[in-house]
Amino acid sequence: MAKEASGISRRALLSSGGLAALGGALAACAPGEPAPPERVADGVQPVPPMGEHQAGISVPTAVQPHLLLGVYDLEGDTGTVLARIGESILALTSGDHPALAGIAPGDLTVTVGVGPRLVQQVAPDGPGTEPLPAYPREEIDDRHRGGDLVIQVCASDPLVPPLTLAAVLENTPGLAERWRQRAARGPSVPVRDGHSAPRNVLGFVDGIAAPVTPDELAESVWIGDGDLAGASILVVRRMEIDLPAFHRLPVAAQEGVIGRERASSAPLSGGAIDDDVNLQAKSPDGKYLIPVDAHVRRAHPRPAGVPLMLRRSYSMDDPLGLLFVSYQAELRTFTQTMERMSESDALLDFTRTTAAGVFLALPGFDAQHPLGSTIFGAS
């Protein structure tokens, strides 16, 4: 049950003022007094699930280290299924769900996206209706391409994502699993105010160039208008990496593949970690400091003519590689970047992509406004 003794009721947590109420309740704990055990583990800050956007996309500034992502086919009424998933999310993040077996959810977030087939049924011309194109270096069978629903679960405690996903599935009839992937992130290094990013399995800091402020997120991540206001487009790609081959390169050559120094993360064009790469900078003998096929050159938003996507990738141990996850207001932000990379990105030579999908990451929700109800309306 909700922790009335802490001065915050379950209802207050579920209301739109829940975040402020929760912050107030935590701040109200006297020094040394234990925090409410249902939600807080080892100083990890809870992430309230309600709001304009789904909390897992941008709220955790310290992105959680553990991820479990599943892709499903959906049978039955989409609105009803989504509303049920939303109820599970509210219950699981509130900390009193029996499926967590007494383990604190901590900073648990569950992010849900709906695939093009289902979006086409209700809004045939809008965002989220286009499937992801195929690209070179893909080995993707039908089961691992597309899908009706993605559920992305993130938390600091490695036990929380599998227990949470199991509970959501248990409570939601009509979902058939296509594939799932576990992945993790190491500790983050500071990039700039309000933004930090972890090293990936290559040893390079990943996620440096990112929209951070509300204005930046509004420009490049959130869909602004209509029934989809507050939503985003989620792209996921399971990219296996030939790590032995990459690590056989001298570090300087690895840095040329990426376009940044490995240790400092500074662009090869100079400056510090938080400086933008300078694609024009040349050495005295006329060579580009950022090689012509470096990943940061091919992926840079300016030549692609798109805003900056929000990347939230996680490293994988099985298979070895990167579970690439990005959020953007328009799919073309991803596709125009991927097209430029496919032409000549030295990093892609070390990869093969074995699963991919695009999903409409639904707008935020709360107890009064069920998950997905602005688009699918629960019946």
Interface with ligand HEM (CB under 6 A): 200, 202, 204-209, 237, 239, 241, 258, 260, 277, 295-296, 299-301, 309, 311, 322, 324, 334, 337-338, 341, 347, 351
Cα distances (angstroms) measured from residue 77 to each of 63, 80, 169: 33, 5, 16
Q: How far is the CB of 297 from ligand HEM (least distance, A)?
A: 8
Q: How far is the CB of 339 from ligand HEM (least distance, A)?
A: 9
SS3 call for 356? strand
Q: How far is the CB of 92 from ligand HEM (least distance, A)?
A: 30
- Residue 82 or 310: which CB sits closer to ligand HEM? 310
- Residue 282 or 302: which CB sits closer to ligand HEM? 302
């500034």: which residue's tokens? 61
Handedness of CA 148, 154, 158, 163 (dihedral sign): negative
- Residue 78 or 337: which CB sits closer to ligand HEM? 337
SS3 call for 189? strand
What is the pairing mode between strands 320-328 and 66-74?
unpaired
- Residue 168 or 299: which CB sits closer to ligand HEM? 299
SS3 call for 322? strand
Q: How far is the CB of 306 from ligand HEM (least distance, A)?
A: 9
- Structure-block tokens of residue 114: 């709906």
- Residue 167 or 208: which CB sits closer to ligand HEM? 208
SS3 call for 109? strand
- Residue 351 or 373: which CB sits closer to ligand HEM? 351
Q: How far is the CB of 231 from ligand HEM (least distance, A)?
A: 20
Q: How far is the CB of 280 from ligand HEM (least distance, A)?
A: 14
DSSP states of 274-291 as a string? TSPP-TT-B-TTS-BSS-
Give the Cα separation of 220 and 253 in Å (integer). Answer: 32
